[in-house]
Chain A
Amino acid sequence: MNQDHSNDIIELASNLRWKVGENYHDRLTEGIYTDAAAITRDVEVRDGKAHFTFDRKLDQILTSKTFGFPIMVLILSIILWITIQGANYPSGMLATLLLENIYPFLKGVASSIGMPWWLDGFLIDGVYLALGWVIAVMLPPMAIFFPMFTLLEDFGYLPRVAFNMDNMFRKTGAHGKQALTMSMGWGCNAAGVVATRIIDSPRERLIAIITNNFSLCNGRWPTQILIATIFIGALVPPAFSGLMSTVSVIGIAMLGIAFMFLTSWLLSKTMLKGEVSTFALELPPYRPPRFWQTIYTSLIDRTLIVLWRAMVFAAPAGAVIWLSSNITVGDMTIANWMIEWMDEFGVFIGLNGVILLAYIVAIPANEIVLPTILMLTVANLNLIGVGAGDGVMFELDSEMETEAILRQGGWTLLTGINLMLFSLLHNPCSTTIYTIYKETKSWKWTAVASILPVIMGFVVCFLVAQIYRIVVG
């Protein structure tokens, strides 16, 4: 009986639907808006003063043909410059505290209670040092970068960026709101992938998902900053090195945007053919942010994220690295075997086996790339006098020291540049891959999104390496 009822209803609905015709939805929406307008007329008082005049003036400037783009670049530059300059000092302090004071203390405690060497190594040299290192290097820049970014977000600037850039997105067959999801990707690619839900049409949304990885994330900014400071900042007199490293980090971020456009264009010409269906973006009014409150909440938020990720990802990775550097098979450790195996290809494309291995270890989280590289380099070279032994993350409180180790590991300017490039162009981290699968529900697109950037990374590093070798000799 129940089922009959349902069928009755559905049948009647079908018939009536045919009767009311195709304009039904239009009439309904018009009806609702008419009601809304009538109610509003009765309860709202707008006095005659010109509203939003300041907003309009600001919009005229921020979206003008002449100033729109320079202002965008300028704002990003200022934020990065403050980050790079400002992070130095707290980073050093944290490193001193965590690695120079607490680390020996823990070691002391361990030996005083007679902990076996392998447990002590596993816990303190593996887990604790990885944790400490990630916190010292990652936390300060991110705790400076993101509060500033959040201020912009709260002010209402991001939709203007999407508005300005939409023309380019349209030309590459993508959606202007991709600018917003990209910005979210700067915090975390997984969050950026989820944010693509604001894009209505499935085709453009897929493009946004696949290209989100070209936004440097939380775990990659600090890598860029550190390598830029060591290898590129050092090319110029010390007075300008801060500026130089800022410029090169901005360059990488811009290159990421360029690759995002290129990939969007390629995808919409090949696998994801089609036209952009709709683009409608509401530009919210500017709202002055509550400065200190925003800074405070964003700071706490970032700190918690970095600490949490350090605990969940860096600590186990530290353990894995320590183990692989201490378990020997035949005459070499597991780590050595793998490095040896990948080194030829690595060097060929201007990287090396250590870097490639580090990127495999760092699939769960990009944060641990640099600590892994340093530690494996030390272990692989058996550098005497640096570090505390195989698979131990050493104290890194000065960039000079890091540089010394890397140079001993055979690093050149080319390795530095290519590491920066590869850090931009490689597979997304495992969380992001999982998120992509959840959002697309398709193994095919998850695979494309994961593998495409690595291939691009290899190709770009290869090209740069060969050209560098031809030019520099």
Chain B
Amino acid sequence: MRALVIDDSRAMRRIVTGILTGFGYEVRDAEHGRAALDVLDEGWLPDLATIDWNMPVMDGLQFVSAVRANPAWRSMTMMMVTSESEHTQIVRALAAGAHEYVIKPFTADAIRDKLALLGLLPQEVSL
């Protein structure tokens, strides 16, 4: 399975990438929504995108809306991974089309549980 990790923090990209590669994912990353759209435009369509909210150039909410506007990208599951934890923000992201919401700080177990719910955990990890 493939994942695209989108976060403006290099440290956070390394952490999320480490967790997902541990689950057997092939991972690419992007430093903001615009760079992530470039990856999708290349034709590299992941099963999962983890999306930070606050990023320069294009934020996570704009990215979710852009993905939703393109039917070719409909198969990709979008999981917000962000420190934006106000209830109204969570509702906004889900309304825009995000599938799941993980609040920073998170643990690897929290990510694993969400992926299991989404059916996106490779079998050998879920056992």
Task: Decide whether A and B assemble into one complex.
Answer: no
A interface residue numbers (CB < 8 A to B):
none
B interface residue numbers (CB < 8 A to A):
none
